[in-house]
Amino acid sequence: MDLSPLLDSLNDAQRQAVAAPLKPTLVLAGAGSGKTRVLTHRVAWLVQVENVSPHSILAVTFTNKAAGEMRSRIEAMLSLPAAPLWVGTFHGIAHRLLRMHWREAGLPQAFQILDAEDQQRSVRKLIKSLNLDEARWVPKEVTWFINAQKDEGLRPKHLKADGDPTREQLIRLYAAYQESSDRAGVIDFAELLLRVYELWRDNPDLAAHYRARFRHVLVDEFQDTNTVQYKWLREVTGSTGIPFVVGDDDQSIYGWRGAKIENLHQFRRDYPDVQMFRLEQNYRSTGNILAAANGLIAQNSGRLGKNLWTSGEKGEPVRLYSAYNERDEANFVVERIREWTSKGGNRRDCAILYRSNAQSRAFEEAMLAARMPYRVYGGLRYFERAEIKDALAYLRLMFNRADDASFERVVNLPTRGIGNKTLDTVRDYARANACPLWQAAGATLTQLGVKAGTSLHAFLALIERLDKETQGLALHEQVDRVIEQSGVIAHHQKEKGERGEARVENLEELVSAARGFDTEETGDMSPLAAFLSHAVLESGEGQADQWEDSVQMMTLHSAKGLEFPLVFLCGLEEGLFPHQRSATDPARLEEERRLCYVGLTRAMQKLYLTYAEQRRLHGVDSYGSPSRFIRELPAETLEEVRPRIQVSRPVFVPRKPMMEEEPVAGVKLGQRVRHGKFGDGIVLELEGQGSHARVHVNFERQGAKWLMLAYANLEPL
Ligand code: ATP
Ligand code: MG
């Protein structure tokens, strides 16, 4: 066979997989062994060597980020645009197919997609409209049930209650939800996949067309396919298509969403002539990182088993940092990244990984304070929604008239007859006089036509009035007043259909968010100012642009398939990771362990693990112990960054010049102190200094606790 230069950069095992005969293929291999590399090379091989038309290739992967990377790698190898090639996520491809075949799929042409939040809202509405008790029929759980059925390829008519009244009600809710979604012409994520499966199943001609077309179907991260995705694969390959799937049973992390490791076995049964390849050499990580990961995953039972090795250097030990709290953890990470960049490293090569989205918050705050560009990867968040941004823009402008971006956003929203021509006059004036748009608007009023001038004047007056009239009101009253009087609510009430309703509900939720906003910790800031900066963080507006060199932040789930020279795996505490829900269920615990394995194996050169002794998450303090996963790592691969300070000493250390941090005065051994949450107690020990100073207090009601002096706000009594 022609030894194409395509194969030069591969090892023997990889080469065999890439150049394998055109038969169903399964590549089963550990992290970083080149599965994705093999898959992309296989595509190039098919086109260049086997003369397969790019038209007949369908390549599927899990995240948009991975799909984008795959596309560009293939384009580079083939030195042609990969346009005729279908590369995408299961959802993306399903969407594309449904747009093309909406009629056959029984959808209106303009069908809309519901994201996870929209879906839950719609379920909640349904529950309300049926007069069911929301406490008993929790919208989130009902949504979960519906999606789980869809992931299994099941419609209400396939389900049996078997005399279980709860299940019976859930099935009824599923049916009602589906009816109302169909009527409204909206489809949720799980529906996308199920619809395409049904589309092919129920339209044999169409299925035959796609079977003839997509002879080659390649799937990355195969271990995380769910039942309906697998059925889909079976439909499109039929008896003639040639699947090429790659995966790693140790990285299956979507069991909670219906993914089935068993699909790996099923695949071997369904394609009896399958050819199997194993890759065992890891090219990504240093010896230490790999040994740590191997040691961890060895604790799982029922693995297919593999022996992953590297010929690379042993590298540095994996570093473990025990932080006092989440802020200390974040500062530690920021300092390490500073070190990295000061030695010439790129920020984009640093990744901060965590179990739950809410953890990003402390890191974002630390990076904003350190002016370190960062990006958080994840779904559309509440504060990113357009209507919420509109409402916030009003609030911002009230707070700060010089906020030009907010001015631009709402000056003509809702429409009040302020056109682009008027705005151009204002913008020109602002530019010429280097002043904010607000000021320019005031100054140009007389130069404008009567109509435009009146409209603009009314807008300025509105903001002034809102500001004046809401002074002294509680935060949520302020917000309520603003969304009413600005006309934003009325604007969306006029909008027809689901979208408009959803927007109005979202705006109403903003009032609740303001009511629930913890103004306790705002310090000198006014509650409104604190709320606005909270919203900036929540909306990710502090984030760097896509092209800027920035630190990468994401959940462990979204890190799948990616790699970074420097990785921080954070929040390794019992209850957080492994997640509380999983601690008592052995199967779920193993899934958490695989998730940890995924995290460890993202690291190429340096890996830090961190945990916090005290953590505030969702406004609640918790005191977790270090995650069991830390104990499960081979000790010889680990090194503690800062062994505990052994000496206790008073914190009245002489103040160091140039140090920002002052020792917290007024607290000494034996002193009685008062804490906002824990009440009164006596200081038993003091240790560390500056921002690291800690205090051990025996509280009368809560017992002894270690606290960070800088954050504890202890009041000497
Ligand atoms: P994961 O399980 O995390 O998805 P993977 O098995 O898909 O990992 P890849 O991402 O394809 O692994 O490869 C891991 C890294 O090793 C990449 O940087 C890749 O370029 C590199 N690599 C893979 N094979 C080779 C090789 N033969 N020579 C040099 N580098 C390689
Ligand atoms: Mg991969």
561 C-beta closer than 6 A to ligand 1 = yes
Is 35 among the catalytic positions? Answer: yes
Identify whether 470 is a catalytic site residue: no
| CB-CB contact of 193 with 105 (8 Å) | no
12 flagged as catalytic:
no
Residue (of 391, 386, 412, 612) closest to 485 by Cα position: 391
Q: What is the pLDDT of residue 662?
A: 39
| 36 is a catalytic site residue | yes
Residue-level pLDDT at 615: 87
Separation of CA 1 and ligand 2 centre (Å): 27
Instruction: Take residue 592 and report the two structure tokens written for it.
Output: 């958490």
Identify which of 250, 283, 310, 602 to mutate to test ligand 1's pocket (most ligand atoms within 8 A of the CB): 283
As assigned by CATH, the class of the 384-533 domain is mainly alpha
Most distant pair of Cα atoms in the chain: their distance:
85
- Return the pLDDT at 443: 95
Decide: 389 in ligand 1 pocket, CB within 6 A: no
- 467 catalytically annotated: no
- The residue type of 435 is C
From the CA of 636, how far away is ligand 1's center (Å)? 26
Ligand 1 nearest-atom number relative to CA 40: 11
The pLDDT tens digits for 419-478 are 989 999 999 999 899 899 999 999 999 999 899 999 999 999 999 999 999 988 989 999
In this structure, which long-range contacts are made by residues 82-89, counting pairs with CB atoms below 8 Å and at least 24 apart in sequence?
Answer: 82/54, 84/53, 84/54, 84/55, 85/43, 85/54, 85/55, 85/57, 85/59, 86/57, 86/58, 86/59, 86/214, 87/59, 87/60, 87/61, 88/59, 88/60, 88/61, 89/60, 89/61, 89/62, 89/63, 89/64
Nearest CA to ligand 1 atom 27: 10
Specify the pLDDT at position 214.
94
Domain ranges (residues) in the chain: 4-102+193-281, 112-184, 297-381+542-640, 384-533, 672-716
- HEC string of 678-692? CEEEEEEEEECCHHH
Is 247's C-beta closer than 6 angstroms to any atom of ligand 1? Answer: no
Is the beta carbon of 582 within 6 A of some atom in ligand 1?
Answer: no
Helical H runs in 158-276? 165-184, 189-202, 204-213, 227-237, 262-270
The single residue listed with the structure tokens 């259909």 is 497
Q: Which of 14, 25, 35, 689 is catalytic?
A: 35
End-to-end CA distance of the chain: 85
Q: In DSSP terms, which residues pair with 612 in a beta bridge?
A: 323
For 118-133, b where at least 16 C-beta lie within 10 A, e where not — what string?
Answer: bbbbbbbbbbeeeeee
Tens-place pLDDT, residues 194-207: 999 999 999 999 99
Distance CA 18, CA 13 (A): 9
Which residue among 121, 396, 602, 705 is the active-site one?
602
pLDDT, position 644: 46
Catalytic residue among 14, 25, 36, 689: 36
Amino acid, single-letter form, for residue 115: D
Check for a shared fold between 4-102+193-281 and 297-381+542-640: yes
What span, in angstroms and rounded, lies between the C-alpha atoms of 188 and 144? 12
Query: What ligand is nearest to the CA atom of residue 594?
Result: 1
The pLDDT value recorded for residue 267 is 94
Q: Which residues contact 442 (CB under 8 A, 6 or more apart)?
A: 460
Record the tokens describing residue 189, joined without a space: 């994520």
Characterize the bridge pairing of strands 694-699 and 703-708: antiparallel
- The rounded radius of gyration (Å) of the Cα atoms in the chain is 29
652 close to ligand 1 (CB < 6 Angstrom):
no
DSSP letters, 145-191, are HHHHHHHTT--GGG---TT-HHHHHHHHHHHHHHHHHHHHTEE-HHH
- Residues 615, 307: Cα–Cα separation, whole Å: 37
CB atoms within 10 A of CB 564: 22
Tokens, residue 357: 């989205």
Distance 36 CA to ligand 1 centre (A): 7
pLDDT for position 697: 83
Counting ligand 1 atoms within 8 A of each CB, the residue from 8, 36, 279, 308 with the most, and so the one to mutate, is 36
Q: Ligand 1 within 6 A of 10 CB?
A: yes
Does ligand 1 have an atom closer than 6 angstroms to the CB of 306?
A: no
Question: Which positions ≥6 away from 134 have C-beta within 8 Å?
Answer: 124, 127, 128
Cα 715 to middle of ligand 1, angstroms: 55
- Determine whether 602 is an active site residue: yes
Phi, psi of 685 (to 5 degrees): -145, 155
Distance CA 152, CA 460 (A): 56
113 and 190 in contact (C-beta within 8 Å)?
no
Cα–Cα dist 372/347, whole Å: 9
Tokens of 147: 């999606």
Asked whether 31 lines ligand 1 (CB < 6 A), one says yes
Dihedral (CA of 127, 133, 136, 140) sign: positive
Gap from CA of 9 to ligand 1 centroid (Å)? 11
What's the pLDDT tens digit per position in 653-701? 333 333 333 344 567 778 888 887 778 888 877 776 666 677 888 888 7
Q: Give the residue whose CA is nearest to atom 8 of ligand 1.
A: 32
Provide the b/e sequence for 435-468 (b: ≥16 CB within 10 Å): ebbbebbbebbeebeeebeebbeebeebbeebbe
- For residue 627 and ligand 1, the question of a CB distance below 6 A is answered with no
Q: Which of 329, 335, 370, 373 is nearest to 353 (CA)?
A: 329
C-alpha 599 – ligand 2 centre gap (Å): 13
Nearest CA owner, ligand 1 atom 19: 34
Query: How many CB atoms within 10 Å of residue 95?
Result: 20
Distances (CA, A) of 394 to 390, 473, 517: 7, 16, 18
Ligand index nearest the alpha carbon of residue 279: 1
Distance (Å, rounded) from C-alpha 682 to C-alpha 698?
Answer: 5
Cα of 36 vs centre of ligand 2, distance in Å, is: 4
Q: Is 141 helix (H, G, I), strand (E, B) or coil?
A: helix
Atom of ligand 1 nearest to the CA of 39: 11
Q: Which CATH number describes the domain made up of 4-102+193-281? A: 3.40.50.300
How many C-beta neighbours within 10 Å does residue 351 have? 22
Residue 72 pLDDT: 86
Question: Which of 37, 277, 600 has most ligand 1 atoms within 8 Å of its beta carbon, as the pocket-test mutant?
Answer: 37
CA nearest to 245, candidates 409, 446, 62: 62
Judge if the beta carbon of residue 34 lies within 6 A of ligand 1.
yes
Supply the pLDDT for residue 656.
36
Q: Is 211 in the pocket of ligand 1 (CB under 6 A)?
A: no
Which portions of the chain are predicted below pLDDT 70?
A: 1-4, 81-83, 378-384, 496-498, 518-525, 537-542, 546, 618-619, 642-666, 688-692
Residue 614: C-alpha distances to residues 318, 568, 573 (Å): 23, 18, 10
Only one residue has tokens 């040994």, namely: 291
Ligand 1: distance of its center to the CA of 8 in Å?
Answer: 14
Class of domain 112-184 (CATH, top level): mainly alpha
> Would you tell me how many other CB atoms lie within 10 Å of the CB of residue 21?
9
Task: Check 251, 555, 614, 637 and give the catalytic one.
Answer: 251
Going from the Cα of 625 to the center of ligand 1, the distance in angstroms, rounded, reads: 35
Pick the CATH number of 297-381+542-640 from 3.40.50.1100, 3.40.718.10, 3.40.50.300, 1.10.1840.10: 3.40.50.300
Using the mean position of ligand 2's atoms as its centre, give its distance from the Cα of residue 129 in Å: 45
Q: Is 37 in the pocket of ligand 1 (CB under 6 A)?
A: yes
What letter does residue 423 receive in the DSSP assignment? H
